[in-house]
């Protein structure tokens, strides 16, 4: 298949990494040859209308699908021997890769694995980068940085939930000052959720993300909570990460580790129930600003 940058593969590049152990006066020399880097590619963004955007481009669509390919750190294996991360606007988010002819994978069972990820952009500059690590946690490949400028309104509230286990279902919940509630059961105002707000998707099988966006927030407190809804048989702990940006400002980032025992069978939802992770309270001014207070 065509891959951006593959024409440069014939050039022998030797990257010399010198790590100086400060104080000990000891030098470690690590040589990396061709093939160690450059086998992760972002081939493009695709918006909801099917339009493809190349790096450096602009868009007026906030929902974008990021597609591309990576190679398995150990060739000829039927499972991926490592982890793939999408660095989206500065944060590494673990993502799945497929070699079964789905999610944009062109040939099942070869050495090329595909990813297909959805993200909700912020207004202005957005950056994407793919990082591949082996099973020991060493970075073995990294894509070129992919940039896109989103000509979309600044959101008073932008929230993203991701987590680090495959197959699990974690849910983002937001209540507004009037106790209106947006979650998977009512993602939009039309479905009974918060007026003027939207949850883009309920991810039920691993990693997320789920995004909550609201262009014009009311005056008052918004409560952000996360529930571990179903482990779907996964026995490992799940660490969830929530990023919050108020009016396009810097990210507030919070993490919480759930054990399988934290999955709750409770069916009620409230701002005060004790079996969810209370992430933060957003105290909005109603004029495009507010403060974020982490739950204690």
- 219 with 284: CB under 8 angstroms? yes
Among 9, 51, 54, 110, binds Ca ion (CB under 5 A): 110
**Alpha carbons 109 and 23: distance in angstroms, whole number:** 49
Among 112, 150, 157, 224, binds Ca ion (CB under 5 A): 112
Q: Segment near Ca ion (CB under 5 A), from 37-45, 93-101, 124-132, 136-144?
A: 93-101
Q: Segment near Ca ion (CB under 5 A), from 38-46, 167-175, 219-227, 231-239?
A: 167-175
Q: How far is the CB of 166 from Ca ion (least distance, A)?
A: 13
Tokens 């493809």: give the residue.
52
- What distance, in Å, lies between the first and last C-alpha atoms of the chain? 51
Residues in region 189-248 near Ca ion by CB under 5 A: 202-203
Number of chain residues interacting with Ca ion (CB under 5 A):
9
Neighbours of 200 (CB within 10 A): 19
Q: Segment near Ca ion (CB under 5 A), from 101-109, 141-149, 213-221, 245-253?
A: 101-109
Nearer to Ca ion, 152 or 242 (CB): 242
Nearer to Ca ion, 152 or 207 (CB): 207
Among 39, 93, 94, 105, binds Ca ion (CB under 5 A): 105
- 152 with 63: CB under 8 angstroms? no
Q: How many residues does the chain have?
A: 296
Residues in region 136-165 near Ca ion by CB under 5 A: none
Tokens 């022998």: give the residue.
12
| Closest by CA position to 131, among listed 145, 120, 118 | 145
User: 209-232 burial by CB neighbour count: b if 16+ within 10 A, else e?
Assistant: bbbbbbbebbeeebbbbbbbbbbe
Among 93, 94, 117, 171, binds Ca ion (CB under 5 A): 171
**Alpha carbons 278 and 173: distance in angstroms, whole number:** 9
The reply to whether 176 sits near Ca ion by the rule CB under 5 A is no
- 234 with 166: CB under 8 angstroms? yes
Q: How far is the CB of 146 from Ca ion (least distance, A)?
A: 21
**Alpha carbons 135 and 74: distance in angstroms, whole number:** 9
Nearer to Ca ion, 112 or 120 (CB): 112
**How is the beta sheet containing 52-53 ordered, strand by strand?**
52-53, 40-47, 63-71, 112-120
Nearer to Ca ion, 83 or 211 (CB): 211
The reply to whether 107 sits near Ca ion by the rule CB under 5 A is yes
The reply to whether 99 sits near Ca ion by the rule CB under 5 A is yes
Nearer to Ca ion, 94 or 105 (CB): 105
Q: Segment near Ca ion (CB under 5 A), from 23-31, 38-46, 58-66, 168-176?
A: 168-176
Residues in contact with Ca ion by CB under 5 A are: 99, 105, 107, 110, 112, 169, 171, 202-203
């Amino acid at each position: 298949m065509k891959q951006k940058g593959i024409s440069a593969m014939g050039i022998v590049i030797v990257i010399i990494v010198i790590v100086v152990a400060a104080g000990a006066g000891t030098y470690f020399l690590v040589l990396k040859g061709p093939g160690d880097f450059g086998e992760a590619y972002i081939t493009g963004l695709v918006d909801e209308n099917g339009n493809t955007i190349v790096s450096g481009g602009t868009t007026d669509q906030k929902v974008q699908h990021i597609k591309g390919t990576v190679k398995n750190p150990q060739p000829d294996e039927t499972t991926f021997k490592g982890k793939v991360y999408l660095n989206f606007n500065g944060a590494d988010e673990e993502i799945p890769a497929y070699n079964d002819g789905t999610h944009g994978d062109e040939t099942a069972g070869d050495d090329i694995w595909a990813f297909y990820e959805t993200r909700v952009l912020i207004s202005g500059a957005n950056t994407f980068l793919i990082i591949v690590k082996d099973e020991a946690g060493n970075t073995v490949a990294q894509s070129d940085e992919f940039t896109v400028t989103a000509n979309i309104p600044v959101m008073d509230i932008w929230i993203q939930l991701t987590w680090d286990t495959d197959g699990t279902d974690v849910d983002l919940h937001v209540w507004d000052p009037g106790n209106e509630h947006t979650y998977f059961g009512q993602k939009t105002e039309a479905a009974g959720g918060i007026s003027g707000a939207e949850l883009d998707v309920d991810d039920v099988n691993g990693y997320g993300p789920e995004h909550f966006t609201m262009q014009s927030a009311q005056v008052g407190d918004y409560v952000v909570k996360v529930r571990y809804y179903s482990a779907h048989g996964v026995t490992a702990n799940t660490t969830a990460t929530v990023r919050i940006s108020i009016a396009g400002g810097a990210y507030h980032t919070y993490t919480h580790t759930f054990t399988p025992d934290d999955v709750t069978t409770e069916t009620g939802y409230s701002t005060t129930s004790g079996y969810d992770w209370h992430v933060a309270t957003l105290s909005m001014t109603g004029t495009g600003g507010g403060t974020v207070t982490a739950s204690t």
